[in-house]
Amino acid sequence: MPQTSPQPIRTSTSVRCAFWPSVLLILCAVYGCAFVEFERGPHAIRGLDVVYSHQEDMTFLSWRLRDEAALEDIEFEIYLNFDFVRLDLSKAPYAAEPYPCDRNYVCFQYQLPGRYNFPSDLAPIRSVHARHGVFPGSEARRHQAHQTFGVRPIAVENNSRLDARRQDWFADNKIPLKRGYQWQLVGRGSDTDPCAEPRSNWLELGARSALAEGWTSGAWCVAARPKRDDNAGVIVKVPFKPSAELFWESQDYVPPEQTHATVYLFLVDLQISNAQRCKQVTDKIVGTASASLNARGSNVVRAGIYTPISADTGDSTDGCTQRARQDYPVSKMAEDIKNAAARFAPERVRVVLVYLNNMELPPSERLILQLYDFANQMYQTDELVPYSWLIGSNTLMGLAPWEWSTGWRPIEDESFLADLKAFATYNVPFRTMDHDRFTQVPIRRPEGATRPQFFKICDATPQISHLVISGLAVRASGSVYHWPGDGALDYRVELEPQEFVAHVEYRRQRVVVVVEICERFCDGPYRTRSGVDYDNWQQSQVCQWTR
Amino acid sequence: MKSFAPLLTLCLGLLAAPLGLAAEREDTPPNRPTVQKRFGTKEGHVTMHLVGVTHVRNDLYNTLGAGLDLGYYFNEQLGAELRLVWLYTRLSGAGDSIRERAGLTPDARAQNYLTTAGLRYSFGYGKILAFDTFVVHFDPQITLHAGTAFAGQRVLPTVLTGLSLLNHFKWGIQVKLDLNLTAQMERRDRGWVPSFGFAPFLGLGWSYGGLAAVPEAGP
């Protein structure tokens, strides 16, 4: 029999790979494996601040726990008289329920009268969990403050409300402290007398506390204090005077605009040998342009259609054959224009000369001069403002400063007809802005104001050039001016002039002027819209309107 | 805690054994092999067990718990179960020592509740004669549960699996011992962290078969 050598027992790689991890997992599970690290747990005190206030002669303690702590199972102990004693947070002078603070924390507070002393190497407050026992506290951060509470009252909303502008040392230093505050007005004989003693009727101090109507007629102080159930604690008294009573308004001015009547005429000087084709072309161009112009309104009038006249006979030609000796009927054209414009008198009228010439050669110098002569006749009449529109070849476009030009193309080209129509929709009616740098724009009394005394120009866009008070111009530089009473108050402003501007190109310009008036207590303090306070409205160039 | 549970199980089993003795007498002549009908059947039965548990994770906490298992068997092999357990967890001696000295605690939180749902599979049935005196009927089982544990504000996905011994006694009374391995995930401040442990459950309960009229099972 053949001998066979014993084969080694093979194990699959996957089995070997899975074996040891499996063993580790089972061992881990049997003996437990929680991968624990240590931390200051949720029941351990963090961020303990101990603040002694000289002003209040009191020590404030503030600390926190993680918000996942089971608060119902936790009590606190404080180190007093060489031992830790149970702390009843509700017995604190400024007692507060635990409250959320920062992020993921719950804050606690307690106060002790006088200065609280404790060993420097000891955490003076510790927590006790009902099940897990005592958790030593964290090291205390010690602070001292001379003044922890104060007010700088200012009347806002035209003396209808009080903002105490409370000074809070704890908030400034980001140390949590929750307590309420109270205030009252106490009288004094005059502005130089001391403040009287407060009475027992304290009011809750909010962000905006209502002031009694008519309080501005007397001399007052504001008395304020942190709220304590035992009516004890520090009281501060600060003189309090009315604020400036102000009204402001943003006043818009859009200059009025005027649309002008349009009188147009055609001067046909073509070179088309086929008379029938020439008539067809002329009719098409004149008809399309006239229709689009007439569609722009009733104050668009056609004066006529003109063709050159023979220099020899003075007779009109058909406008289809250009001759060496021909003239343009300038006098006739000017006369007809004036007659047509007369119906719109005394308004100024835009005169549109539509010049048709399809030749690539420039017309003779004499004809060009005749066109200039026509323009001069128009300019010599104040009511007529000429405008030239060439429908012709590229050669002619460079010959004179046409205000509008349309390249010559066959009338079968739709784009050519569309261009002819575009002239009317783009330009007509022509517009003029009724404003110049001497125009005086009135300033109205702001709504709500009844007895203005002073005013400021807070803002003007664009910048106004002069302020005119009762006819006397002054610079408008943010100063304080007397309200003119019955006199007029105007300003002047320079705007970009627009005269006989194409309908589409006309820009409606807007002037915004912010005026602020003061009625009473104009030398008093005030608060801007952005919340910045100033001591004296009359001596400041800043408006209440200012953001 | 680990050493208490098996001991407790053994004691309870011994106390309950006489009930099994009373439940059945061996009247068959010893020289003739027979196949008996099962003494403890499960198909169509609703079960309810009061359970005691300890959970060992080596996390510096000691945990004891008590709760309720509600089950239903679809057939003799397979049953479903709901479990609700209240846990009492506190720091161990070593954990207490660290807390007192340094104010530090494990970043794992003490667990308060465990709720799971799972399956229970019987892969056999047997009986033994103990001390030549009484007979115990039992099912060896495999269990698999999944659910959540609650530790303060944290919720821990939890899986339990292991072997179980379900003992049948007179009047439908049952005693079971589950030896479970546990796997959990906990979202601690440093992120999700796994943990593994051991959780023996000892249960005393009652099986009620009146809901479904099924023929008695064969051997």
Whether residues A454 and A320 share a domain: the answer is no
Structure-model confidence comparison of residues B23 and A193, the more confident one: A193
Supply the pLDDT for residue A13. Answer: 47
Name the domain boundary from A122, A145, A168: A145
On the question of pLDDT at A75 being above 50, the answer is yes
Among residues A212, A259, A172, the alpha carbon closest in space to that of A502 is found at A259
Say how far apart CA B8 and CA B52 lie, in whole Å: 10
- The answer to whether the CB of A136 falls within 8 A of the CB of B103 is yes
Judged by CB atoms closer than 8 Å, whether chains meet at A40 and B196 is answered as no
Whether residues A180 and A237 share a domain: the answer is yes
On the question of pLDDT at B6 being above 60, the answer is no
Whether residues A273 and A389 share a domain: the answer is yes
Confidence of residue A489 (pLDDT cuts 50, 70, 90): confident
Quick check: is A25 in a domain?
no
- The answer to whether the CB of A198 falls within 8 A of the CB of A237 is yes
pLDDT tens by residue, A124-146 = 999 999 988 899 888 899 999 99
Quick check: is A22 in a domain?
no
Say how far apart CA A359 and CA A271 lie, in whole Å: 6
Q: Does B1 touch chain A (CB under 8 A)?
A: no
Beta bridge pairs of residue A237: A223
Confidence of residue A29 (pLDDT cuts 50, 70, 90): low
Range of the domain at A176: 149-242
Give the pLDDT mean for B54-76: 93
Whether residues A64 and A165 share a domain: the answer is no
Q: Which residue has the tokens 């073509």?
A: A270
Whether residues A317 and A224 share a domain: the answer is no
Question: Of B56, B91, B107, which has the smallest distance from its Cβ to A32's Cβ?
Answer: B56
For chain B, what's the residue count? 219
Quick check: is A132 in a domain?
yes
CA–chain centroid gap for A506, Å, is 26
Name the domain boundary from A429, A449, A475: A429
Question: Of B58, B102, B105, which has the smallest distance from its Cβ to A34's Cβ?
Answer: B58
Supply the pLDDT for residue A2. Answer: 42
On the question of pLDDT at B24 being above 50, the answer is no
On the question of pLDDT at B167 being above 90, the answer is yes
Quick check: is A179 in a domain?
yes
- The answer to whether the CB of A257 falls within 8 A of the CB of A426 is no
- Give the mean pLDDT of chain A: 89
Supply the pLDDT for residue A379. Answer: 87
Supply the pLDDT for residue A193. Answer: 86
Supply the pLDDT for residue B31. Answer: 64
Judged by CB atoms closer than 8 Å, whether chains meet at A41 and B105 is answered as yes
Judged by CB atoms closer than 8 Å, whether chains meet at B99 and A133 is answered as yes
Question: Of B99, B106, B154, which has the smallest distance from its Cβ to A135's Cβ?
Answer: B99
Q: Does B194 touch chain A (CB under 8 A)?
A: yes
Say how far apart CA A98 and CA A66 lie, in whole Å: 12
Whether residues A514 and A374 share a domain: the answer is no
pLDDT tens by residue, A373-386 = 898 888 888 889 99
The structure tokens listed for A280 are: 């067809």
Whether residues A376 and A398 share a domain: the answer is yes
Whether residues A107 and A164 share a domain: the answer is no
Q: What are phi and psi of A459, to 5 degrees?
A: -160, 145
Contacts of A105 in chain B (CB under 8 A): none
Question: Of A25, A34, A133, which has the smallest distance from its Cβ to B59's Cβ?
Answer: A34
Judged by CB atoms closer than 8 Å, whether chains meet at A33 and B189 is answered as no
Q: Does A34 touch chain B (CB under 8 A)?
A: yes
Supply the pLDDT for residue A210. Answer: 93
pLDDT tens by residue, A509-536 = 999 999 999 999 999 999 999 999 999 9
Confidence of residue B109 (pLDDT cuts 50, 70, 90): very high
Among residues B109, B13, B2, B11, the alpha carbon closest in space to that of B64 is found at B2
ipTM over 0.85: no
H-run or E-run covering B102: helix B93-102
On the question of pLDDT at A11 being above 90, the answer is no
Quick check: is A15 in a domain?
no
CATH at A378: 3.40.50.10140
On the question of pLDDT at A16 being above 60, the answer is no
- Give the mean pLDDT of chain B: 83
Supply the pLDDT for residue A546. Answer: 87
Shortest distance between the Cα of A131 and any Cα of chain B, in A, equals: 6
Among residues A338, A301, A304, the alpha carbon closest in space to that of A429 is found at A301
Judged by CB atoms closer than 8 Å, whether chains meet at A36 and B190 is answered as no
On the question of pLDDT at A406 being above 50, the answer is yes
CATH at A58: 2.60.40
Into how many domains does chain A fold?
4
Supply the pLDDT for residue A467. Answer: 83
Quick check: is A27 in a domain?
no
Q: Does A80 touch chain B (CB under 8 A)?
A: no
Domains of chain B as residue ranges with CATH: 4-21+38-208 (2.40.160.20)
Supply the pLDDT for residue B18. Answer: 42
Judged by CB atoms closer than 8 Å, whether chains meet at B197 and A25 is answered as no
Kindly state the percentage of chain B with pLDDT values over 90.
58
Kindly state the percentage of chain A with pLDDT values over 90.
61
Whether residues A486 and A369 share a domain: the answer is no
Judged by CB atoms closer than 8 Å, whether chains meet at B104 and A133 is answered as no
Whether residues A420 and A297 share a domain: the answer is yes
Shortest distance between the Cα of A446 and any Cα of chain B, in A, equals: 59
Judged by CB atoms closer than 8 Å, whether chains meet at A38 and B105 is answered as yes
Strands A261-268 and A349-357: parallel
Supply the pLDDT for residue B26. Answer: 47
**What does each C-alpha distance from A387 to A335, A343, A430 come to in angstroms?**
17, 19, 11
Give the pLDDT mean for A256-276: 93
pLDDT tens by residue, A43-69 = 999 999 999 999 999 999 999 999 888
- The answer to whether the CB of B158 falls within 8 A of the CB of B183 is yes
Whether residues A122 and A173 share a domain: the answer is no
Instruction: Give every CB contact of residue A256 below 8 A, 6+ residues apart in sequence.
Output: A433, A434, A435
Say how far apart CA B84 and CA A7 lie, in whole Å: 55
Say how far apart CA A223 and CA A158 lie, in whole Å: 21
Name the domain boundary from A110, A145, A180: A145
Judged by CB atoms closer than 8 Å, whether chains meet at B105 and A44 is answered as yes
Quick check: is A114 in a domain?
yes
Report the b/e string of A112-142 with b at 16+ CB within 10 A: beeebebeeeebbbbbbbeebebbbbbebee
Supply the pLDDT for residue B76. Answer: 87
Confidence of residue A243 (pLDDT cuts 50, 70, 90): very high
Judged by CB atoms closer than 8 Å, whether chains meet at A31 and B153 is answered as no
Whether residues A311 and A425 share a domain: the answer is yes
Contacts of A104 in chain B (CB under 8 A): none
Quick check: is A324 in a domain?
yes
Instruction: Give every CB contact of residue A525 below 8 A, 6+ residues apart in sequence.
Output: A154, A155, A241, A243, A244, A533, A534, A535, A536, A537
The structure tokens listed for A45 are: 């005190």
